[in-house]
Structure 1
């Protein structure tokens, strides 16, 4: 099933999790009016998006506006449109917006890898979301992403691996 959303103006662009540390599921969510779309993703993807957006924001004037704190909450129930694969990020000078492009993760099977053939018919079945977010929304997303990522399990001081609520077998502690 093909999913395509393009939000030239979003009310909210946020990230959040469902579940307990160690078994959390990460989501990106965009909302405009009553329309909303969520994408399941990995913690590292959330962190990478925030890191890139911070880098771009450092080269731009500080944001004039910020979304209200409640707009950054993940709205449930979350119905994922797809699992996140490739990510495209950029800046559109003409609209002074950051562009976030999210594409569906696609597993290619052996039939798709037939040598010498290109099947353009398969490209229109992938999910695709394009968002244009303000500098304020991007800055708020970065702050929220950093909080969400840091709220996970603490790292062991000896081995650096995450510690479960029940502890963990530390390879350095024998």
Structure 2
């Protein structure tokens, strides 16, 4: 079957979002242009890495090419609307590609479907017939910065971290390795200081 590449050269939206409650969220990237919307599922860590790498790429583009790259974005520039529904997963992301198209002066993000075999790097950001299905999105530097800002917010909107071990806290409680697995409840009162143990 021929490879399908969904290309969004001037997307109306490209956002990270989630479905579900903190601790049980599914992460999506969603691209929309005109009446077409494509959603792909991925891991929280992939969203975080993509946002970080976009920030690094924008800094490099500014340094090497002198492109007009905003260092920050205002709240008004960040799309805070939820994902468009229904969210229909096109595929789960395995490999991600990131680049700069000097001709169109755009950041190019490519998301490739998970495959059972290792992905040849030659198919990333390429139109070859062979390879996994993909979503390719072109963003202006300011759109890319706004995407990265929203992605960071989505990643950090989950469960609060434990102040002792940094692991996510569950609403039902938390087995903290720093307290030898002791699960504190509201009835226990303030936690004992480390010196008291």
- Residue aligning to 2:43: 42
- Residue aligning to 2:175: 169
Relative CO higher for 1 or 2, CA cutoff 8 Å, sep ≥ 6?
Answer: 1
Aligned 8 A contact 1:72 1:141 in 2? no
In the TM superposition, 1:1-174 aligns within 5 A as: 2-59=3-60, 60=62, 61-63=68-70, 69-70=78-79, 73-108=82-117, 124=130, 126-174=132-180
TM-score (structure 1 length as normaliser): 0.83
Distance change >3 Å, CA 69–CA 171, structure 1 → 2: closer
TM-score (structure 2 length as normaliser): 0.74
What 5-or-longer segments of structure 2 have no aligned partner? 63-67, 118-128, 181-197
Q: Which moves more between the two structures, 22-31 or 125-134?
A: 125-134
| 1:87-130 deviation line (CA, Å, top 9, x unaligned) | 0001111111000011001124xxxxxxxxxxxxxx74621111
Q: Calculate the aligned-residue CA RMSD, in Å.
A: 2.1
After TM superposition, the runs of 4+ consecutive aligned structure 1 residues lying more than 4 A away are 65-72
What 5-or-longer segments of structure 1 have no aligned partner? 109-122
